[in-house]
Structures are given as C-alpha cells and as structure tokens.
Amino acid sequence: MGRSDLTSRVSRDACVLGVALTAPAAWLGGVDGALGAAAGAGIAVANFRWLASRVSITLAAASAGRPGRALGGVLRLAALAAVVALLLASGHADPIAIVGGLSVIPVTVIAEGLRTVREDA
C-alpha cells in the first residue's frame, strides 16, 4: 500500500467515523453537539490531508534540509488553532464534541495500522 492509498483510506474511514459520531453528539448535545462533532472531524481530516501532502512533497524533494519546513508546520498548527478558536468563540459548537471530532484521525490511523498488520500476517 502506498502513501496515497493510506491517506485515502484513513481520510475515508475518518469521514465515516465522523458522520457516525455526529448522531450521538446530536442526541447528547443537540445542534451544538452535532456541529461540534462534524466540525472537529472535518478539521481533523483537513489537517491530516494537509500534513500528508507536505510529507509526500518533502519525501519527493531531493534535499530534506530546506529552510522553511518548520515554519510551514508552525503555520499549519496556527491555522488549526485559529479555526478551533473561532468555533469555540462562536458559541455554536460544543467543546467536548469538537474534541471528539478531532479524535477521529488517531483512532482511524491506529485501526488502519492494525488492519495492515493483519493483512500482512
């Protein structure tokens, strides 16, 4: 499995998990819960895809020591923090649901790793 296959599978599975997480969040937290879970999952998937594209570009580049790579990572995390801060400041998204939505990527990456190991065994 290549990097793009892994990125696609993790993104797809994280979106499915995000949608599945939205229903209980809506039941527990109403519209704010559903919005928080959906927004958190969307932010997590966008952040993961952004990170995966930067890793692919870095691995394809001949020189890994180009300056500015650290700045790009800082800007990516600053953009992530700004979007989460805007969601929280709006008051229309439940903070716990946002954290739940943001957690779809780690869960999906672990599940994908376990699935790959099981297929290779």
Distance of CA 27 to the CA centre of its chain: 23
Our count of domains for the chain comes to 1
* Full residue range of the structural domain in which residue 35 is found: 3-120
Task: Report pLDDT for 49.
Answer: 93
Residue-wise pLDDT for 24-71, tens only, equals 999 999 999 999 999 999 999 999 999 888 888 777 776 556 666 677
Confidence band of 116 (pLDDT split at 50, 70, 90)? confident
- Report d(CA 3, CA 65) in Å as an integer: 21
